[in-house]
Amino acid sequence: MGRKAPIDLGERGKLSPYNKLNNLTGKEWIKFTKSWFHLNPKARKDNEILHPAKYPESLAQQFIEFFSKKGDWIFDPFLGTASTLIAAGDCERNGVGIEITKKYMKISKDRIKEGNYKTELKPLLGSSLNIKKVFDKNKIIDKVFDCTVTSPPYWNQLERASMRQKGRADKGLDTKYSNAKGDIGNIDDYKKFVETQAKIFDQVYDITKDKGYLIIITNNVFFDGRVYPLAFDTATSLTNRGEKSWVLKDEKIWLQNDKPLIALGVNHAWVGNRHHQYCLILRKEK
């Protein structure tokens, strides 16, 4: 019989030498296992506001800190303004991210330069529809990642002029990512979007270590009088990919308590104010 690892609840902030996954104490570990959370993100700077769907660094950081150790490698195939890489740098991880839109790549590079990080952070311009091509071009050979934290476009949701988007348009801010052919936020057919997204995560599977995690921030989408269950279809599609099937471990729900309520469907029919997002937790288990 092997020696049994004692359960260390980290009452005194002690790190357990038996912890295989992260650098958290037992107490910090348990705290994170709650199925929902709030955030109090810092106000966004001017160049960050331009991007229509940036997530807070603190969102990415809590997942990176749980699903990797210091010095590990983090990946983001939909980098946007580099929130994942900034979070990785802030907690001493290395990272690679791919972004298709030039202006967001410039913001990413500026932010990383400004942060003066000690770890390696590589924002790469290109399309995650062919991750190998982007890696080869940047001489990233045989890299294996410990964890991916990412948020893909929520289908073509941004293209549709919603009331929230109107406010951004009036201020001259971007209301869609780009017109690029490979930008998956421009795919109008829902089924095609879900399948294309899954093909990108097949490639993420190939560059993830065995037992490595994939965290996807996404949501269900209301369009044309009905909900398209994108978060649920994302989970289902990624867990039915033959030998590249991810194992769905859980979802955590990000409750957004800081968004204004909008008068949707009042006196007419149900339209919800969607003030939460899904964080899907998947794992590669060969």
Phi then psi for residue 120, to 5 deg, are: -85, 120
Q: Which stretch binds ligand SAM (CB under 6 A): 2-10, 18-26, 73-81, 228-236?
A: 73-81
Buried b (16+ CB within 10 A) or exposed e, 247-278: ebeebbebeeeeeeeeeeeeeeeeeeeeeebb
Residue 266 beta carbon to ligand SAM: minimum distance, rounded to whole angstroms: 29
Q: Which stretch binds ligand SAM (CB under 6 A): 39-47, 98-106, 159-167, 247-255?
A: 98-106
C-alpha dihedral, 165 to 154 to 253 to 124, nearest 10° = -100
Are the C-beta atoms of 78 and 152 separated by less than 8 Å?
yes
Separation of alpha carbons 188 and 200, rounded Å: 17
148 makes contact with ligand SAM (CB under 6 A)? no
Cβ neighbours around 162 below 10 Å, total: 16
x/- mask, ligand SAM, residues 201-230, rule CB under 6 A, reads ------------------------------
Number of residues near ligand SAM (by CB under 6 A): 26
Separation of alpha carbons 107 and 113, rounded Å: 10
* Residue in the shown chain whose Cβ atom is closest to ligand SAM: 80
129 makes contact with ligand SAM (CB under 6 A)? yes
- Of these, 88, 153, 193, 230, which contacts ligand SAM (CB under 6 A)? 153
104 makes contact with ligand SAM (CB under 6 A)? yes
Residue holding tokens 């969607």?
Answer: 274
Residues in contact with ligand SAM by the rule CB under 6 A: 51, 53-55, 77-78, 80-81, 83, 98-101, 104, 127-129, 151-153, 177-178, 182-185
